[in-house]
Structure 1
């Protein structure tokens, strides 16, 4: 229970279905910077109180677990990815390591059969567990769940996954839950002011060194304050004027160089993913499959051929070039509503 509307309604639905429900809040130990809103992220002190009040109203036990040390490793991963010139996806890592990792350990410790969350996704269980998109396409969160394995999905419930967001909010109002009108959390929970560069300056000030902006032809056109402060596809906030629109098309962490180019320079027709997790069925090596592939959460998805490779990798070849494929992001494979699997873009 994060203190938000989705996990609160999930607990409500499970309670109404007759389950014995235990509410759990994950404390991440994040201290909000002065002036930052603690209400738009998640896992703040205010969120903990909201979750506890909902649990009290539903008459279920409630526990706040201290995951500060484990969560600190996610923040370290986030900073480390930028430092190596990649674009991190901390929500996927948090799901893998905490919500469907450490939380399962706690479930085992108290004898809980299932773990339920407020994610907009669905699980179908027959001989194998199959992960599907959430019924509300605008809120679908299946992209963030691609690392989940069979033993986890077999014990996972997504009570609001088959609902529209408007239905969830209406149900919260009808039940008199205080979170019914609570705004959604939009930012990364440990970057509540949405300024990840501030976090980098705090965490790795000695690593942020002046470097060169270069064009795709190698011409030096300006200076920057550290490659870590930029992402693939970025156009705004570059601090350099070329007299034409310029985009970050490549980042070389070793030389601390940021490469600028035109929008067309962002297009790529293929990628290789590592640490690929096939959820319900793994194709044989060399057997390419047709899939829709998303290269970031807000990507519409694109037709592609996905070929499993040795070492837990996969090659993705798109039917048409895609814009701003970023190392460190996740490539997630779909067939219709089913999530086939996914991996990390190299």
Structure 2
């Protein structure tokens, strides 16, 4: 909101350079939001599908266990365990579908479509690029960070006002010729050079200068604080992006796909009697956790990459399709 107000102020004050910077930042932010939303929508589809698979798997197992001989406590306990796991999986499936609908609503709003217009996003496997060095982002941020540039511009304006106040506080003088004619007792003409020197009769000019200097000092302090915030935000975002990329590159393939295969294999082995119920349930839970973790890390990495571009002005797109 603050940056939007500064952007409008730059347009109103005919500050063309800052207005262009703000417009470019707005266009980049719009592109980043569309990309992140599309990615979020596609990943919500994957998450909803995984939760539905596990829920259906537990439902099928529950139906199979109901037909077994209920003699003894073990079959009953196993059945109740599967029923409880099915309830949890159904809840997660509903949450995933709700998240999918929310992402769809936001995407439709962004593209100007009806709220419930169907949209399926098929995202390719994403490869995240290595970010440039942090010092490159910091060097570009002095000119490319919109908030910081507006702060510098405001400081320059206050500095100009301070210089004008100091100039007005110094008494000036005017000089020019003058002619005086006197007709009493004859005619006399006096030609000379006149100097007008104002005398400071109050402390208003000094007070104005002191106030302007104080505003100038406060503005310099605000610039220093703004730059420290830029350094902190860029540093934290850069570290977050690098960490997420390293985590994702620890696995040569998609962990969600690998755990999906393990969960499906666990079901077939359990039905054949070669796997215990506990291992089967652990495989399903591990599948959902792996999907959630992988998707969250990927989404956070994409957001952090675009945030780096927003903070620095560097034309860096973290996502490349492969």
TM-score band w.r.t. shorter chain: under 0.3
* Larger strand fraction of residues: 1
Pair member with larger Rg? 2
* Larger helix fraction of residues: 2
TM superposition score normalised by structure 2: 0.20
TM superposition score normalised by structure 1: 0.19
